[in-house]
Amino acid sequence: MGTTLPGVVPFDPPSLTRLSWELGSRVIDDEASARVGRWECVGSSWSLSVFRVTSETVVVRVRTPIGRQRFYGAAWMDLESDLSKLDAAPSWERSG
């Protein structure tokens, strides 16, 4: 079984790569990175942000209720259609 997002997230892209905190932080802080969106889980402290880091690659940052950040790399084509599932999920709200 490959890398998956935490169960609270209402989708799971087919191919994810877990990134270290140091690498994930550095990549999303780069000036070439652009945030696609941010969502918060209603009634909990989970949040999820998606960053476009190249024309074909995104980094997903998941913040846990205790404040830890987990980073995942994915292909934009694998994740793009999943964002509508996140927007449609009643337990998640777009916040930016």
18-22, 46-50, 70-74, 92-96, range with the lowest pLDDT:
92-96
pLDDT at 1: 55
- Per cent of the chain over pLDDT 90 is 80
pLDDT-based confidence at residue 12 (cuts at 50, 70, 90)? confident
Condensed to tens digits (0 to 9), the pLDDT of residues 27-59 reads 999 999 999 999 999 999 999 999 999 999 999
Q: Are 72 and 23 in contact (CB under 8 A)?
A: no
Distance of CA 62 to the CA centre of its chain: 6
**What structural domains does the chain harbor?**
16-80 (2.20.25)
pLDDT at 2: 75
40 to 14, 15, 32, 55, 69: CA distances (angstroms): 22, 23, 24, 25, 14
Q: Which two tokens stand for residue 10?
A: 């209402």
Q: Which two tokens stand for residue 82?
A: 């999943």
